[in-house]
Amino acid sequence: MADITRSPWLLHYDASSCNGCDIEVLACLTPVFDVERFGIVNTGDPMQADIFLITGAVNAQNAPVVKQIYDQMSDPKVVVAVGVCACTGGVFKEAYNVMGGADKVIPVDIYVPGCAARPQSIIDGVVAAVGLFKERYMQLKNKQPLSVGHLEGGEGS
Amino acid sequence: MAKRSVVPFGPQHPVLPEPIHLDLVLEDETVIDVVPSIGFVHRGLESLVKTKDYNEFEYVAERVCGICSFGHGNGYAEAVEKIMGIEVPRRAKYLRTIWLEMNRIHSHLLWCGLMADAFGFENLFYQCWRIREKILDMAELTTGGRVIYSTNMVGGVRRDITPEMGRAILSTLDFIEKELVPIRRTFLSDYSVQERTRGVGVLTKEQAHDLGCCGPFARASGINCDMRLLGYDAYGELEVEPITATEGDNYARCKVRLDELFQSISLLRQALEKIPEGDISVPVKGNPDGDAFVRLEQPRGEAVYYVEGVGDKFINRFRVRTPTFANLAGLCETIKGAKYADVPLLIVTIDPCISCTER
């Protein structure tokens, strides 16, 4: 079971991003940047995913979807907010339909800034997520309480 | 009669980089009706015109969509220039054309990759994206940004392309052209690829016309429409011949987009050859008062921009009609009667840009 920490699977969901960060996330998976060399595989199934990459701000329509995907993922799990929209709402923060960053709905562990976030910084965030994932895995194994990320309005860690 | 069942598709789905939700009404394996529901990506971008001044809004307009970003910024800037009666320098017009075409190459290569991914040809997907990185390098060299350029502004452009950059672009184009030949051959001649594309999702010319489709989607059905013929920016001085096909199926749509890649390469070469010397922007004074429409050809089709100013530094109304919105009706028509397994492919085939559509 320890091998799980060497090949975490990644799930990407576009909340309300402008696509800029999405295509950069996809570019990370393709040969030039290639996050697969860290053992990471992109999956479409939340139940098999360990790392949740979220791009874009959260609005009322997609908030339940984001929450549902997060709840479907099994512990341990790590959430990475990619792009300034997922971090804070970014350029759309003042728009009437935007609630704010992803941390309004789910606990976020790692924030990757940028508009659009560059592949290098996304990889940096993902590698940090792999480290955090290993830590959580050990916590789960040793039956310690799991640490959680930052949730705006929640307690956080 | 077979039993009917409704299968929800999306918003989170492996094939979709963006969220769109479809309720598919199935009769056994065949889809007989489609009910799309959208709104997952709605941000209310158009309302931001009232909080940002008209020069600043240029950068928000680029964030309508991250794939065809330069075109959106260009449409907005041209509309404001039209209201204020600003004549942009010729060099700026050529620079805009160059970036628009670079945007089209990267967008079409992205589509080719996603299409290959949708029919399970991972190798082809990676090859397309490998080539695409080269054009992104050129975007980074000339603008500093990979996907969002932010070089456009009301009255011209902010950055110039030096002769060294021009030479770098030309040698990259040679590389891309050479690499595209085997990719085009695989898409159009490979036996297993044709199994998924030939005769799948046929949209006739009449249907495409009645449903108001646009862009490569309509051109693949035989409709000769290309907004570049209007001659905005420098297109009036370049040779643009719309690429059309008659079959109206997935195969035709692949063919049109692949040929448009070669067309864009040729347009870039022409533009880099003919680009005149001179200023790249003119000073802008005053505030826009009045309204204007601008139409231009995005990688996905015709986009329409409307800007209404009231003599204030804040614009009163900004409206975009994006190509994917026009093509969604056509998409629903092609899905009806298709096999369930072909639905992901058919969604990718219109090159959907949900974030443009919902803004």
Are the beta carbons of A45 and B42 separated by less than 8 Å? no
* A76 upstream amide cis, omega within 30 of 0: yes
- Which is it for strands A41-43 and A9-14: parallel, antiparallel or unpaired? parallel
Task: Determine the residue of chain A that is closest to B359 in CA distance.
Answer: A18
| Cα–Cα distance measured from residue A100 to residue A57, given in angstroms and rounded to the nearest whole number | 6
Question: How much is the pLDDT for A2?
Answer: 56
Instruction: Kindly state the tokens that stand for B299.
Output: 């990688």
Task: Name the β-bridge partners of A41.
Answer: A9
CA angle A30, A32, A38 (to 5 degrees): 70
Considering only the beta carbons, identify the residue of A23, A43, A96 that sits closest to B44.
A96
Q: Does A96 touch chain B (CB under 8 A)?
A: yes
Question: How much is the pLDDT for B262?
Answer: 92
Q: Does A140 touch chain B (CB under 8 A)?
A: no
In the predicted structure, residue A4 carries a pLDDT above the cut 70: no
- Comparing CA positions, the residue from A30, A11, A155, A66 lying closest to residue B16 is A11
Q: Which amino acid would we find at residue B61?
A: A
Q: Is B222 helix (H, G, I), strand (E, B) or coil?
A: coil
- Comparing CA positions, the residue from B149, B162, B263, B283 lying closest to residue B216 is B263
Quick count: other Cβ atoms within 10 Å of Cβ A141? 11
| Cα–Cα distance measured from residue B265 to residue B57, given in angstroms and rounded to the nearest whole number | 31
Task: Name the β-bridge partners of B289.
Answer: B310
Q: Please give the interface size between A and B, counted as residue pairs whose CB atoms are below 8 Å apart.
A: 123
Quick count: other Cβ atoms within 10 Å of Cβ A64? 10
Mutation site for A-interface testing, chosen from B20, B43, B52 by largest number of A Cβ within 10 Å: B43
Q: Is B79 helix (H, G, I), strand (E, B) or coil?
A: helix
Are the beta carbons of A18 and B69 separated by less than 8 Å? yes
- Comparing CA positions, the residue from B102, B107, B69, B96 lying closest to residue B351 is B107
CA distance A101 to chain B (A): 12
Task: Determine the residue of chain B that is closest to A13 in CA distance.
Answer: B12
- Comparing CA positions, the residue from B266, B298, B260 lying closest to residue B109 is B260
Task: Determine the residue of chain B that is closest to A28 in CA distance.
Answer: B129
With pLDDT > 70 as the criterion, what percentage of chain B qualifies? 99
Are the beta carbons of B51 and A94 separated by less than 8 Å? yes
Are the beta carbons of B355 and A57 separated by less than 8 Å? no
| Cα–Cα distance measured from residue B314 to residue B190, given in angstroms and rounded to the nearest whole number | 54
Q: In what order do the strands lie in the sheet with B21-27?
A: B4-9, B21-27, B30-37
Considering only the beta carbons, identify the residue of A17, A31, A96 that sits closest to B355.
A17
This complex has an ipTM of: 0.80
Residue-wise pLDDT tens digits, A132-144: 888 888 888 888 7
- When pLDDT is averaged across residues B156-176 and rounded to a whole number, the result is 89
Question: How much is the pLDDT for B193?
Answer: 86
Nearest-Å Rg of the Cα atoms of chain B is 20
Residue-wise pLDDT tens digits, B118-150: 888 888 888 888 899 888 888 888 988 888 888
Mutation site for A-interface testing, chosen from B41, B140, B314 by largest number of A Cβ within 10 Å: B41
Residue A154's pLDDT band (boundaries 50, 70, 90)? low
Instruction: Kindly state the tokens that stand for B117.
Output: 């991914």
| Cα–Cα distance measured from residue A48 to residue A66, given in angstroms and rounded to the nearest whole number | 16
Chain A contact set for B60 (CB, 8 A): 91
Are the beta carbons of A23 and B39 separated by less than 8 Å? no
- Comparing CA positions, the residue from B41, B164, B150 lying closest to residue A13 is B41
CA distance A6 to chain B (A): 23
Q: Is B304 helix (H, G, I), strand (E, B) or coil?
A: strand
In the predicted structure, residue A156 carries a pLDDT above the cut 50: no
Mutation site for B-interface testing, chosen from A16, A45, A59, A66 by largest number of B Cβ within 10 Å: A16
Q: Does A19 touch chain B (CB under 8 A)?
A: yes
Residue-wise pLDDT tens digits, A92-133: 888 888 888 888 888 898 999 888 888 889 888 888 888 888
Per DSSP, the residues of B112-173 read: HHHHHHHTT-HHHHHHHHHHHHHHHHHHHHHHS-SS----EETTEES----HHHHHHHHHHH
Chain B contact set for A95 (CB, 8 A): 43-45, 47-48
Q: Does A30 touch chain B (CB under 8 A)?
A: yes
Q: Which amino acid would we find at residue B184?
A: R
Chain B contact set for A32 (CB, 8 A): 129-130, 133
Question: How much is the pLDDT for B85?
Answer: 86
Question: How much is the pLDDT for A157?
Answer: 41
| Cα–Cα distance measured from residue B75 to residue B78, given in angstroms and rounded to the nearest whole number | 5
Q: Which residue has the tokens 């021009």?
A: B166
CATH annotation of A2-141:
3.40.50.12280
Alpha helices in chain B (DSSP H): 57-62, 69-84, 90-118, 122-143, 163-189, 191-197, 205-210, 215-219, 250-274, 323-335, 343-349, 354-358
Of residues B15 and A60, which shows the higher confidence score? A60
Q: Does A93 touch chain B (CB under 8 A)?
A: no
In the predicted structure, residue A1 carries a pLDDT above the cut 80: no
Chain B contact set for A17 (CB, 8 A): 41, 66, 355
Residue-wise pLDDT tens digits, A9-40: 888 888 888 888 888 888 888 788 888 887 78
In the predicted structure, residue B336 carries a pLDDT above the cut 60: yes
Domains and CATH numbers, chain B: 54-358 (1.10.645.10)
Q: Is B283 helix (H, G, I), strand (E, B) or coil?
A: coil
Task: Determine the residue of chain A that is closest to B18 in CA distance.
Answer: A14
pLDDT, chain A, mean: 83
Residue-wise pLDDT tens digits, B233-285: 888 888 888 888 888 888 898 899 999 999 999 999 999 888 888 888 888 88
- When pLDDT is averaged across residues B312-336 and rounded to a whole number, the result is 86
Alpha helices in B204-314 (DSSP H): 205-210, 215-219, 250-274
Per DSSP, the residues of chain A read: -GGGGGS-EEEEEESS--SHHHHHHHHHHSTTT-GGGGT-EEES-GGG-SEEEEES-EETTTHHHHHHHHHHSPSS-EEEEESHHHHH-GGGTTSTTEEESGGGTS-B-EEE--TTPPHHHHHHHHHHHHHHHHHHHHHHHTTPPPP--B-TTS---
Distances (CA, A) of B188 to B126, B129, B193: 17, 18, 8
CA B194 and chain centroid, separation = 24
Distances (CA, A) of B13 to A38, A123, B120, B351, B356: 24, 23, 15, 16, 19
Are the beta carbons of A116 and B146 separated by less than 8 Å? yes
CA distance A134 to chain B (A): 26
What is the domain partition of chain A in residue ranges?
Answer: 2-141
Are the beta carbons of A18 and B51 separated by less than 8 Å? no
In the predicted structure, residue B60 carries a pLDDT above the cut 60: yes
pLDDT, chain B, mean: 86
